[in-house]
A and B are shown apart, each in its own frame.
Chain A
């Protein structure tokens, strides 16, 4: 409770500073809108439904892309860690592609798929999959060898070894990899929504884009706030409990 109050206080102070900056007229209101006007935009957009609709569209794309990315990335990462051949082929490819910022996929996606949902999905999957591959691979390689040796003497081989020893042993790494994958998926999707204009769904990225086109800074900042909030919430709801569970089990972490 104390921590919650402290966090709240921190953000109230931030908004207050913002408020006084605007009041003092340091920046032109066109460049830096006041907290009130951003709040009014948010309330208005929530009332007429555009905000919820856009959030729904974005989150659906995100979940689908992320899920596909994990489904491809996780097994691929296991393969690269298990086989020298796959490591030298797919592994190198993944390492290279992981460094590629996901915006770079957009021209290709537009050429291959046109202005469609598929293009959007393609960018998100490409943004997610390689970092998941790398994280999984790293996770498996960081397992203390004593676990594998102990399991081996007890007769654990093949599929049993993978499902009962290697996967659980690398779980802390897998979870941080999936978290990283989530962040990458988010970024890729925003890039895709800002650059790919399509009619099948109007996401948060589009709202942001049109805010800029219309010079509506309160819309730009409002949507940014929504994006940040969603990011925070997923972290707190999706990943935090899992991480807490792991720390509890492994006895890791400070305190």
Chain B
């Protein structure tokens, strides 16, 4: 398999969340984290989840990844129920979660090494390709603690992209980055996504970011975590986060979001 073929890879997967509910019961309280969530994500669709802190976005991602089990309902990936984590659905966690005992390239290689059907030389090439993509080729052999928070997130992105998963679940991956790096990564992500068509579920607090990236933005509210509204974003790509149309869409969504949050306070 050549590097090119490896980068083309498998077709993206279709996801279906079917009436998923989740409670967290601790000795002190019971939190209704997700309430009857149903959601269909088409093959290759880019969906952003936006909602206030604590509305269950990370929990939903964990359930789709197969790391958590829902109390009710189920998640289907390509018409098969998700029971366990699988290599085709990779997660980029809210914290970078890099392994401190490996250097940067070692971290990026971790998932690749678990992928069958590749020679080691090819794995190394793929790893280098993605490290370059996130602009860290000078830091290939740096230790994790020597990286800044933003650099760690970029390594985590490379690590998640490298094994070429069909679904990418990203939990506020760019929250810790400066605006310039973030803009760079928006265009990178759009480019990668257009070239390699993955199904992406992307959590963010930043409405503009959501509008810049997504085909569809889904608004969540909390207590219990519910889907409130969905917005199609029909803007052509590649999108510029500073464009006026984008700002208009973002304004509309922000108003809706504020409505729920203030409504929540008033209740």
Contact = CB atoms under 8 A, between A and B. Distances in A.
A155 B100 contact: no
B36 to A, nearest CB: 25
B97 A149 contact: yes
A160 interface: yes
Contacts of B89: 153
A156 B114 CA distance: 7
Contact of A153 (B85, B115, B143, B145): B85
A153 B100 contact: no
A231 to B, nearest CB: 29
Interface range on chain A: under 10, 10 to 19, 20 to 34, or 35 or more? 20 to 34
Contacts of B110: 151, 154, 156, 164
A62 interface: no
Interface string B39-62: 000000000000000000000000
Interface size class of B (residues with CB under 8 A): 20 to 34
Nearest to A246: B101
A28 interface: no
Contacts of B85: 152-153, 155
A254 to B, nearest CB: 14
A153 B114 contact: no
A146 B93 contact: yes
A160 B114 contact: yes
A164 B114 CA distance: 11
Contact of B99 (A152, A168, A248, A251): A168
Contacts of A191: none
Contacts of B90: 153-154
A154 B85 CA distance: 8
B185 interface: no
Interface string B56-71: 0000000001110000
B73 interface: no
Contacts of A4: none
Contacts of A248: 143
Given A250-B145, A251-B143, A155 B97 contact: no
A197 B89 CA distance: 65
11 contacts: A146-B97, A150-B91, A150-B93, A152-B85, A155-B87, A155-B114, A165-B99, A248-B143, A249-B101, A250-B100, A251-B100
Interface of A: 146-147, 149-156, 160, 164-165, 168-169, 171, 248-251
Interface of B: 65-67, 85-87, 89-91, 93, 95, 97, 99-102, 110-111, 114-115, 143-146, 159, 163
Given A168-B99, A250-B101, 14 more contacts: A146-B97, A149-B93, A149-B97, A152-B85, A153-B85, A153-B91, A154-B111, A155-B87, A155-B114, A156-B114, A165-B99, A249-B101, A251-B100, A251-B146
The 3 closest A-B pairs by CB, nearest first: A251-B145, A154-B111, A155-B87
